Structure 1
Amino acid sequence: MRISVIGGGYVGLVSSVCLAELGHSVNLIEIDDGKVAYINSGRPTIFEEGLEEMLAKHINCNLKASSDFNSVLVSDITFICVGTPSSSNGSADLSMIKSASISIGYALRGSEKYHVIATKSTVPPGTTQDVVMPLVLKESCLKKQNIGFVMNPEFLREGRAIHDFMRPDRIVIGSDDRKAGDLVETAYSGLNAPIVRTGLTAAEMVKYASNAFLATKISFSNEIGNICKKLSIDVYEVMNGVGLDHRINPHFLNAGVGFGGSCFPKDVSALIHLAECLREDPILLRSVMKINDLQPKRLVDLLEKRIGSLRGKRVAVLGLAFKDNTDDIRDSRSINVILDLIKRGVHIAAYDPKANDSMHSIIPDIDYCHSAAEALNAADACLVMTEWPQFNSLDKEFDLMKSRVIIEGRRILSCNYSEGICW
């Protein structure tokens, strides 16, 4: 099958490589010529485990990148994988969705073959029906029977995206007609996963509801953790008992400094905005975000309680990415903590196995170290912000500290002299 993928970002690049792995001929369309050249040379523009090897396997064979939309005309399916960042009011910014839809429609002018356009980007319910469809039909000058529209949300965890694409929990396909949905289902032949068929808008809501529920589990765990902290209870023992209930399950019950990344914060905010536009009061979702916003401050307050005034102190911050196995710092809890520490006059020595450069681009005026040991040297305290597996083996490195005050925002250390934000 011939497939075009619009957008060379996280979702677009991973999807392109994995679709090529499934045997399809894939054209990745990215408007940034620099990214195009990078990808065509076999180098991914993001760090993701296994991505570089799989890209090298398929690039210039059954996968190529370009900055024009010519491949759309000869493709069977075009996947829209562009970003939908938060607007200032919390709603989803659909400008890239609109731009991609217009470009796809223009590229399809004169087409005589049936074509399916599948939205993979996370969009508010109603977007494919009310935004993508009319823009494509207007620009293409084609009749509705010549184009099928599908919503096919992605459920990729950063750091484990290749695994999640090739071994998905489910594949959700929302379509406006059976033929369009069937063609997208065929694109996933070879994957062993339940196929969930819905309408267009329901599929969009599946994505939002999934992310909102996972964010809710995290904030619930953090609130329980904050209570456990005051009772001198290990919240991880509590959540281990809770998670064994099959109605709950143990995933996303790890208490800590809160959630970040490119999905949860913006998607919950967008769902709150959508609910308010529908004159619904999303009490639970607002509470989820409030708990998450307050967790980083709890960490800094705990640090100040342990070492006194922070002004002039040297604090090692281990972990800058919002989670392990990625270099993505979008909405990382480390950002909030570092900015708070800077305001309090702290000298920061930071280290992350992959995300030093990413963080340096937005917070340049702190010390970036080449190792955890370098960051810990002569530090008055240490904050662990990301659950990188290699931090688990740290031990004698803490002897380099001026005082051994170690607070974990993510539970990863194996030493027995650290303290958790809520355990």
Structure 2
Amino acid sequence: MTDTAALPSAPLPSASLPRPHSPALPLPLPHSPRRVAVFGAGYIGLVTGACFAELGHRVVVRDIQPERIDLLRSGDVPFFEPGLGDLILRNKERLSFTLDVHEAVRDAEVVYVCVDTPPTASGDADLSRVWAVVDALKDTASHLVAVVVKSTVPVGTGDRVRVALDEAGLHHVGYASNPEFTAEGSAVDDFLRPDRVVIGAFDEATARWVEGLYAGVDGPVETMDVASAEMVKLAANALLATKITFINEIATVCEATGADIEHVARAIGRDHRLGPYFLNAGLGYGGSCFPKDSRALRAMASNSGYPFQLLNAVIEVNELQPRRAIQRLKSELGGLRGRRVALLGLTFKPGTDDMREAPSAVIASRLLAEGAEVTCWDPMARPGPVQPWSSTTRHDTVDDAVSDADAAVLVTEWPELVDVDWPAAARRMRHPLFFDGRNLLESTAMLDAGFTYMSVGRATRHR
């Protein structure tokens, strides 16, 4: 890589309005390990910090929660993510944690903003945590090379941050958007071996400096203007959410016509133009990204005067999907009042303890509203004493959860559920009805085990 002193001070291509002030060349390229401050010790911040430390950089992660920082300093991770704990332990000489802004920024060359941007009542992203970081830099960041936002933010946020940095006298500090594309359960691998690294900057020098931080990462780098980088994250998640919702709509038609969604999805996925990914019919998408980002993109479009009708339909169908499962159970059982229903899996996906926007919460709430008793099993989820979970009964084993139940609903496709002794489980139930909300199990085997078997996108099969 050539030194930036030989590069022209060229802006990256953009179709937007004229850029705010951009820092002048030359900027030092990160040939050697850099000093990185990461604001936010959640999923994205911790993975970002630990992975940058793995790449050889010296990293300080700052958060505002004392209990979280204490936990990390003691060597524990506040949530489950495969490989993350080992990564933090292996890089403990290059990775530290603090509550203090000045300690985090004191020696830093780059600040990564990895704070949460939850939805507001209008569906817009709440950027208060982002602005809190920007405000904290005004008196502490005279020596910084760049500020990089990895948090998911609306298009146009970078322009506003650039103006705020300029007004604070930080004209020399570059700005970049570097959205994350990590999935819970595979976040470390997604960071170190990504499909792509997206870097949006107002000038080529900043883009190349940030790109240098990723030396050693096995994946292509896409550089572009800031607005386009901000849009990439929202558009990618909206497209994936649309694909999930589309296959769930096809599944509903399959149920009505006698077609089998598993056969349909497998054949569709063999088309090289479409691919097999995100074509698994189920109870709908959940987690921290798809619901939030879809609503944020819809709100952003609405604020611009454009009613994003396709995305409106995606969100509506996804919200209805777990409720359709309740209606099918109610029809099969002749009502839910007084029935006991076991929920198998609570997290929004296997391999994580995250329950944000999980379909299980909607299903449990609806069952309780219909007068059912709800029992639960999950190998990792630890829901707090809040509704609907405070009105349910947790069990440590699947057998205990389904004991005396009138129905069992597989909500999360935990691999442990494949190895359950289902004939024995059926004998423990009052009414061996099984709703496979992820089409994980083989229908004939469940029939042979003694169940009436219901699934998504296929007709109910009775014993």
What displacement does 1:312 show?
1.0
**1:133 aligns with one of 162, 171, 184:** 162
Q: State the partner residue of 1:358.
A: 383
- Is residue 4 of structure 1 aligned with residue 41 of structure 2? no
Alignment partners' CA distance in 2, 1:269 and 1:23? 37
Alignment partners' CA distance in 1, 2:428 and 2:137? 57
**1:201 aligns with one of 201, 217, 227:** 227
What displacement does 1:191 show?
1.2
Residue identity in the other structure for 1:299: A
- Is residue 172 of structure 1 aligned with residue 198 of structure 2? yes
Q: Would the aligned equivalents of 1:328 and 1:358 in 2 still touch at CA under 8 Å?
A: no
Q: State the partner residue of 1:47.
A: 80
What displacement does 1:114 show?
4.7
What displacement does 1:152 show?
0.2
Q: State the partner residue of 1:368.
A: 394
Alignment partners' CA distance in 1, 2:184 and 2:173? 32
What displacement does 1:305 show?
1.2
**1:30 aligns with one of 55, 58, 63:** 63
- Is residue 397 of structure 1 aligned with residue 437 of structure 2? no
What displacement does 1:73 show?
3.5
Q: Would the aligned equivalents of 1:105 and 1:138 in 2 still touch at CA under 8 Å?
A: no
Alignment partners' CA distance in 1, 2:75 and 2:117? 26
What displacement does 1:318 show?
0.5
- Is residue 66 of structure 1 aligned with residue 66 of structure 2? no
Aligned pairs for 1:269-308 (under 5 A) are 269-308=295-334
Alignment partners' CA distance in 1, 2:105 and 2:296? 30
Task: Please give the per-residue CA displacement for 1:334-389, whole angstroms capped at 9, x wherever unaligned.
Answer: 1111000111111111111111x225444212101111111011111001111111
Alignment partners' CA distance in 1, 2:433 and 2:189? 37
* SS at structure 2 position matched to 1:74: coil
Aligned pairs for 1:12-411 (under 5 A) are 12-59=45-92, 61-70=93-102, 71-108=104-141, 111=142, 113-130=143-160, 132-139=161-168, 141-142=169-170, 144=171, 146-355=172-381, 357-358=382-383, 360-362=385-387, 363-394=389-420, 395=422, 396-411=424-439
Q: Would the aligned equivalents of 2:37 and 2:111 in 1 still touch at CA under 8 Å?
A: yes
Q: Would the aligned equivalents of 1:320 and 1:359 in 2 still touch at CA under 8 Å?
A: no
What displacement does 1:398 show?
3.3
Q: Give the RMSD, CA atoms, in angstroms.
A: 1.3
Alignment partners' CA distance in 1, 2:427 and 2:95? 50
* SS at structure 1 position matched to 2:235: helix
In structure 1, runs of 5+ residues without a counterpart are none
Alignment partners' CA distance in 1, 2:139 and 2:42? 22
Q: Mark the CA change 1:135 to 1:68 in structure 2 (over 3 Å): closer, same or farther.
A: farther
* SS at structure 1 position matched to 2:390: coil
What displacement does 1:103 show?
1.0
More deviation in 71-80 or 183-192? Answer: 71-80
* SS at structure 1 position matched to 2:96: strand
Alignment partners' CA distance in 1, 2:346 and 2:261? 24
Alignment partners' CA distance in 1, 2:163 and 2:380? 42
Residue identity in the other structure for 2:121: S
Q: Would the aligned equivalents of 2:53 and 2:95 in 1 still touch at CA under 8 Å?
A: yes
Residue identity in the other structure for 2:360: S
What displacement does 1:55 show?
1.6
Residue identity in the other structure for 1:56: L
What displacement does 1:210 show?
0.2
> Share of identical aligned residues, percent?
37
Q: State the partner residue of 2:31.
A: none
Q: Would the aligned equivalents of 1:302 and 1:421 in 2 still touch at CA under 8 Å?
A: no
The number of residues matched between the two structures is 414
The TM-score normalised by the length of structure 2 is 0.87
Q: State the partner residue of 1:422.
A: 457
What displacement does 1:118 show?
0.5
Q: Mark the CA change 1:399 to 1:17 in structure 2 (over 3 Å): closer, same or farther.
A: farther
Q: Would the aligned equivalents of 2:244 and 2:278 in 1 still touch at CA under 8 Å?
A: yes
* SS at structure 1 position matched to 2:106: helix
Alignment partners' CA distance in 2, 1:138 and 1:34? 35
Alignment partners' CA distance in 2, 1:335 and 1:352? 13
Q: Would the aligned equivalents of 2:439 and 2:456 in 1 still touch at CA under 8 Å?
A: no
Alignment partners' CA distance in 2, 1:149 and 1:167? 24
Alignment partners' CA distance in 2, 1:212 and 1:403? 40
Alignment partners' CA distance in 2, 1:354 and 1:345? 27
Alignment partners' CA distance in 2, 1:115 and 1:387? 45
* SS at structure 2 position matched to 1:266: helix
* SS at structure 1 position matched to 2:391: coil
Alignment partners' CA distance in 2, 1:123 and 1:153? 9
* SS at structure 2 position matched to 1:406: strand
Structure with the greater alpha carbon radius of gyration:
2
Q: Would the aligned equivalents of 2:57 and 2:94 in 1 still touch at CA under 8 Å?
A: yes
The TM-score normalised by the length of structure 1 is 0.95
What displacement does 1:120 show?
0.2
